[in-house]
C-alpha cells in the first residue's frame, strides 16, 4: 500500500530557483511541491536543502573496489555492496557503473571477463539489496585487441545505458604528455618503467590496427540498440566533430578549451570531473573544469574517482561565484539524466521519481564550507 510522506521546512532547489516549503511524495513519485501545512508522518528538514537525487554518469569507483591494489582481485559481491553504499552516502541515487573493456594485461580489471560481476549486480538488484539505481556505462578501449571480445557479456544487457569510446594511446588526448602518463601507470597500476616503455612502443601499431574498426563497431551498436554514446578526452575540434557525426551526446573530459567550445556548439554535453574542481585543476595537466564553467561550457559533473567530489564540486562552483546553486545542482542531476536518456528523474517536479537528497552546509573553523548529506531517498524510500 502506497503511503504519503511530506518533507517540510525544506529549501527546495528547483531548476531556476530555491523555494522554501514542502514536498509531498506518494507512490514513489513527487505528488506536490508547495508550502502546505505539515501532516502526520512529516519529515522536518529543519531548513536544509532538498535536492533531486544525484545522477552519476561516470565513476571508476566500482572498479576500485574490485581491485583495491594492483593485481589484488576482490569478490564481486563485497565490492558491489561497498561501492553501492558509498554512492548512496554521497547522495547519488542513480549511478552508471563505469566498467572498462580492453586491456592486454590479464591481471588488470579491464583485461578480465565481466560475467561474474554482472551476475552479482543482477542478483543483488533482484533481491532489493542495493541503495542506488545501477546502470552500466561500458568504457571501450578502442586500440586494445580484446575490446570487442570482452564486451560480449554486456551485449543486450538491460542495464547497459551508456558506451564511451576511449583511446589512451600515449602521446595524444589525455596523455599528450607521455611523462605524466608514466607517473600514472607506474603509480596507479604498479607498472615498472620498462613495462611502460614497452607498452608505449607497441601502442602506435595497436592503434593503427584496431582503433578504427572497433570504433565503427561500437558506434553501430549504440545506433541499433538505442544506447547513449560518449566520446572521451577530446582534444581537437576534429575529435569533437567526429563524435558528433557518430551520434555522441556527451564529450567526457575534453582536454582543451577549443574542444569544449566545439562540443558545446554542436550540442554535446561537456562532462568534467569533480576532483578536477576540488583540486583546482586536472591531474593530467589538461584544461581546468572551473575554467570551462566560467565560460559557460561545463554541463555535467562526474565524481570520476572520488564519489564525494560530485556534490562537493557542485557546491565549490557556487561558493566561488562561478554558477548559481540551481545551475550547479543541474550539472549533477537534470543534465546528466537527460544526456543519458533518463527522463523520469533529475528534477524536483510533480510526477517524477522521488529521488531526494537532504543537504546541510557545514562551516569549518577555517571558514571553508562543505556540503553534508543528511538523508537520501530513492523513489520515496529512505536508503541513507
Q: What is the mean pLDDT of the chain?
A: 90
CA dist., res. 113 & res. 124, Å (int): 19
| 24-to-46, 112, 156, 254, 343 alpha-carbon distances in Å | 16, 46, 37, 40, 20
pLDDT above 90 as % of the chain: 73
Write the pLDDT tens digit of every residue in 102-124: 875 666 777 678 999 999 999 99
Directed axis angle between helix 178-188 and helix 193-206, to 10°? 120
In this predicted structure, which of 36-40, 121-125, 169-173, 292-296 has the lowest mean pLDDT? 36-40
Model confidence at 183: pLDDT above 70: no
Model confidence at 40: pLDDT above 90: no
CA dist., res. 271 & res. 57, Å (int): 9
User: Greatest CA separation found in the chain?
Assistant: 69
| 325-to-16, 37, 193, 288, 337 alpha-carbon distances in Å | 9, 26, 45, 20, 18
For the chain, domains (ranges, CATH) are: 53-346 (3.20.20.140)
pLDDT for residue 69:
85
Model confidence at 187: pLDDT above 70: no
Return phi, psi of residue 14, to 5°: -95, 170
CA torsion 222→223→229→233, rounded to 10°? 100
**Global confidence as pTM:** 0.89
CA dist., res. 235 & res. 173, Å (int): 5
pLDDT for residue 204:
63
CA dist., res. 177 & res. 285, Å (int): 8
Say if CB 24 and CB 31 are below 8 A apart: yes
Write the pLDDT tens digit of every residue in 305-353: 999 999 999 999 999 999 999 999 999 999 999 999 999 999 999 999 9
pLDDT for residue 321:
96
> Which position has the higher pLDDT, 200 or 83?
83
Amino acid at each position: 500500500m502506497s503511503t504519503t510522506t511530506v518533507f517540510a521546512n525544506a529549501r527546495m532547489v528547483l531548476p531556476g530557483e530555491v523555494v522554501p516549503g514542502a514536498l509531498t511524495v506518494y507512490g514513489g513519485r513527487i505528488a506536490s511541491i508547495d508550502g502546505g501545512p505539515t501532516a502526520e508522518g512529516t519529515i522536518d528538514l529543519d531548513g536544509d536543502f532538498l535536492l533531486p537525487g544525484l545522477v552519476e554518469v561516470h565513476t571508476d569507483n566500482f572498479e576500485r573496489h574490485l581491485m583495491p591494489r594492483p593485481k589484488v582481485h576482490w569478490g564481486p559481491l563485497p565490492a558491489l555492496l561497498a561501492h553501492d553504499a558509498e554512492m548512496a552516502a554521497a547522495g547519488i541515487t542513480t549511478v552508471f557503473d563505469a566498467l572498462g573493456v580492453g586491456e592486454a594485461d590479464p591481471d588488470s580489471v579491464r583485461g578480465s571477463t565481466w560475467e561474474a560481476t554482472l551476475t552479482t549486480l543482477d542478483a543483488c538488484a533482484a533481491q532489493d539489496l542495493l541503495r542506488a539505481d545501477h546502470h552500466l556505462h561500458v568504457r571501450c578501449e578502442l586500440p586494445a585487441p580484446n575490446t570487442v571480445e570482452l564486451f560480449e557479456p554486456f551485449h543486450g544487457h538491460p542495464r547497459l545505458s551508456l558506451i564511451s569510446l576511449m583511446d589512451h594511446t600515449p602521446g595524444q588526448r589525455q596523455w599528450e604528455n607521455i611523462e605524466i602518463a608514466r607517473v600514472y601507470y607506474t603509480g596507479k597500476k604498479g607498472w615498472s618503467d620498462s613495462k611502460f616503455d614497452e607498452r608505449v612502443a607497441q601502442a602506435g601499431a595497436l592503434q593503427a590496427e584496431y582503433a578504427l574498426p572497433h570504433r565503427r563497431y561500437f558506434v553501430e551498436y549504440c545506433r541499433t540498440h538505442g544506447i547513449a554514446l560518449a566520446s572521451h578526452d577530446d582534444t581537437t575540434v576534429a575529435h569533437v566533430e567526429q563524435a558528433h557525426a557518430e551520434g555522441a551526446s556527451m564529450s567526457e573530459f575534453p582536454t582543451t578549451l577549443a574542444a569544449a567550445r566545439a562540443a558545446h556548439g554542436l550540442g554535446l554535453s561537456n562532462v568534467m570531473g569533480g576532483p578536477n574542481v576540488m583540486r583546482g585543476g586536472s591531474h593530467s595537466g589538461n584544461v581546468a573544469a572551473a575554467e570551462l564553467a566560467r565560460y559557460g561550457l561545463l554541463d555535467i559533473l562526474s565524481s570520476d574517482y572520488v564519489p564525494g567530489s560530485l556534490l562537493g564540486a557542485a557546491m565549490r562552483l557556487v561558493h566561488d561565484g562561478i554558477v548559481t546553486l540551481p545551475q550547479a545542482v543541474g550539472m549533477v542531476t537534470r543534465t546528466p539524466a537527460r544526456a543519458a536518456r533518463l527522463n523520469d528523474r533529475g528534477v524536483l517536479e510533480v510526477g517524477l521519481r522521488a529521488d531526494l537528497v537532504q543537504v546541510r552546509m557545514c562551516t569549518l573553523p577555517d571558514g571553508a564550507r562543505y556540503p553534508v548529506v543528511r538523508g537520501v531517498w530513492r523513489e520515496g524510500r529512505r536508503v541513507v
